[in-house]
Amino acid sequence: MAFANDRPIFLELADTIAADVLAGLYPEESQVPSTTELAAHYRINPATAGKALNTLVDAGIVYKKRGLGMFVATGAPEALRRERRAELHTHYIAPLLTEAKRLGLTPADVVDLITKDPS
């Protein structure tokens, strides 16, 4: 993974781990990589990796088991799914409609494209 240059790295990394939790790569109650492992793997400062994990702790996605490491909270994938559904409009629908408008397409045209989408 290459980090996009437009957001702080710790947020990008927190999003990546959250996406992996959502996709089931880290199941509930499984361990996520440590600060040191993340730092070495992504070649980032351990403080940045720590900030990413703390962001996920604050969001209730992972929790710390003293002396053992960080683990995925029970219910985290469902919570992420709920959160991302709520953000679907801001992150995808609104930009899609803005672009459609720029191209001279109505929302009905967009709906048409969506229903005809082969995937």
Partner 1 sequence: MTPTVTETSGIQIRQLHKSYGSLDVLSGLDLTLPAGHIYGLVGPNGAGKTTLMSTICNHTFPSGGTILVDGENPAENAGVLERMCFIHEDQPYNDVFSVASILHVMPNFYPDWDAALAQRLVARFQVPVERRARKLSRGQKSAFAIVISLASRAAYTFLDEPYLGLDPTAREIFYEELMTDFGAHPRTIIMSTHLIDEAAALMEEVIVLHEGEIVLQADVDDARSSAYVARGLADEVRAFAQGRDVIAQRTLGRILSATIRGQVTPGDEDKASANRISLEPVSLQDLIAALGIHTLTNALTTENR
Residues at the contact surface with partner 1, assessed by CB under 8 A: 3, 5-10, 35-36, 39-48
48/105 with CB nearer partner 1: 48
What span, in angstroms and rounded, lies between the C-alpha atoms of 39 and 50?
A: 9
Minimum CB distance to partner 1, residue 116 (Å): 31
Minimum CB distance to partner 1, residue 74 (Å): 29
H or E stretch at 19: helix 9-22
Minimum CB distance to partner 1, residue 94 (Å): 13
40/113 with CB nearer partner 1: 40
